[in-house]
Amino acid sequence: MKNGPLVMALVVCGVLLVGCETRRAVPDGPVTGTFTDDLGREVKVPVPMNRVVSLAPSITEMLFAAGAGDRLIGVTSYCNYPAETVNIQKVGDTLTPNIESIVALRPQVVFVSTASQLEAFTTLLTEQKIAVYVLDVKKIDDVPDRLRRLGKMFWTNEPAEKAAKDFEQRQKNVESTVKQAERPKVFLQISNEPLFTIGSDSFMTELVELAGGISLTKDITGGYPKISKETALAMDPDVIVLSDSDDNREPNTVFSNSKAVKNGRIIRVNADILSRPGPRLADALEQIAGFLNK
């Protein structure tokens, strides 16, 4: 890096005047930082990180929102947002990434979203001196928290903080709007056949509640349980939320006589913004809240 003395002066300023700059000066020369991931592992990463791979669409979207999208050199075939992802090398899908392609890109860090992803190839990547970092969003509040963490990791505090505050403000606005509203009973349909929904471990259950609804399946164990037609029939939802995809555009026929279908209280929400635990959850939250309270 050129202008080494100037950069070092900025670093000293940042140490002496904590908080004087939202975006910190990047150190000049090879430095290693240690960050704890969402499995509690201490992961050593180079500073700055200029070559990273994301193996989850939600992580890709968070990296862009945090101002680090230009560091991505590899993403999955499912990573389709923002538009800039079209120009980034694809390394397979989320469940079966092409490890050879990843290694060939020579990334410094590979970001994954689940422990199962980590177990599949961490040994091979470690042998290649490629760090693996788990970023696992389980709750809505995790989104702004992880954005801020990425800002620290990539030294992009300013855009990361802006994105985090924007998300938090939109959430507060929704919560304020629905605070006194009547809370309808909601069934969120992930797929039509077989009939899958959301359970106690899904962040989407929290999303429905924040939007002003009562999730009928919030006490079912698991994240995305398959339920029987008999169980679904007894629920009689006021509103059905469809995770909109090619095979999930209509409520399951078991709901034909439900209040939701009879009253036309069905909302389709793009599956990408609904199912990816990232910044665009604010879009899904606003859409569902607006529908529930009209």
Task: Check pLDDT > 70 for residue 94.
Answer: yes
- Does residue 152 share a domain with residue 59? yes
- Does residue 246 share a domain with residue 133? no
In the listed set 132, 163, 194, which residue is the last one of a domain according to the structure?
163
Residue 100's domain spans which residues? Answer: 29-163
* pLDDT (0 to 100) of residue 10: 38
Task: Check pLDDT > 80 for residue 204.
Answer: yes
**Is residue 9 included in any domain, yes or no?**
no
In the listed set 108, 132, 163, which residue is the last one of a domain according to the structure?
163
* pLDDT (0 to 100) of residue 128: 87
Among the listed residues 140, 139, 174, 162, the one whose alpha carbon sits nearest the alpha carbon of residue 65: 162
- Which amino acid, one-letter code, is at 186? V
- Does residue 138 share a domain with residue 198? no
| Span of 9-18, 134-143, 255-264, 278-287 with lowest mean pLDDT | 9-18
Interval 103-116: pLDDT, tens = 999 999 999 997 66
- Does residue 140 share a domain with residue 195? no
In the listed set 137, 163, 189, which residue is the last one of a domain according to the structure?
163
* pLDDT (0 to 100) of residue 291: 96
Residue 10 CA to residue 2 CA, distance in Å, equals 14
Interval 152-176: pLDDT, tens = 999 999 999 999 999 999 999 999 9
* pLDDT (0 to 100) of residue 162: 98
> How large is the average pLDDT for residues 183-190?
97
**Is residue 4 included in any domain, yes or no?**
no
Residues contacting 202, CB < 8 A, separation 6+: 223, 224
* pLDDT (0 to 100) of residue 244: 95
Question: DSSP label at 84?
Answer: G
- Does residue 124 share a domain with residue 63? yes
**Is residue 168 included in any domain, yes or no?**
no
Number of domains forming the structure of the chain = 2
- Does residue 189 share a domain with residue 152? no
Residue 91 CB coordination number (10 Å): 25
> How large is the average pLDDT for residues 188-197?
96
**Is residue 152 included in any domain, yes or no?**
yes
- 150: which 2 tokens? 């990425």
Interval 48-79: pLDDT, tens = 899 999 999 999 999 999 999 999 999 999 99
Interval 241-285: pLDDT, tens = 999 999 899 999 999 999 999 999 999 999 999 999 999 999 999
Q: What is the CATH number of the domain that holds 194?
A: 3.40.50.1980
- Does residue 227 share a domain with residue 142? no
Q: Residue 289's pLDDT band (boundaries 50, 70, 90)? A: very high
Q: Vertex 276, ends 140 and 270: CA angle to 5°? A: 110
Question: DSSP label at 97?
Answer: B
- Does residue 227 share a domain with residue 185? yes
Q: Is pTM beyond 0.95 here?
A: no
Residue 249 CA to residue 261 CA, distance in Å, equals 13
- Does residue 218 share a domain with residue 118? no
What percent of the chain is predicted at pLDDT more than 90? 77
- Does residue 141 share a domain with residue 112? yes
**Is residue 172 included in any domain, yes or no?**
no
- Does residue 123 share a domain with residue 70? yes
- Does residue 191 share a domain with residue 76? no
* pLDDT (0 to 100) of residue 221: 94
Task: Check pLDDT > 50 for residue 6.
Answer: no
Residue 209 CA to residue 196 CA, distance in Å, equals 19
Q: Specify which residues 244 forms β-bridges with.
A: 270
**Is residue 153 included in any domain, yes or no?**
yes
Q: Specify which residues 263 forms β-bridges with.
A: none
* pLDDT (0 to 100) of residue 47: 87
Q: Residue 217's pLDDT band (boundaries 50, 70, 90)? A: very high
- Which amino acid, one-letter code, is at 270? N
**Is residue 176 included in any domain, yes or no?**
no
**Is residue 130 included in any domain, yes or no?**
yes
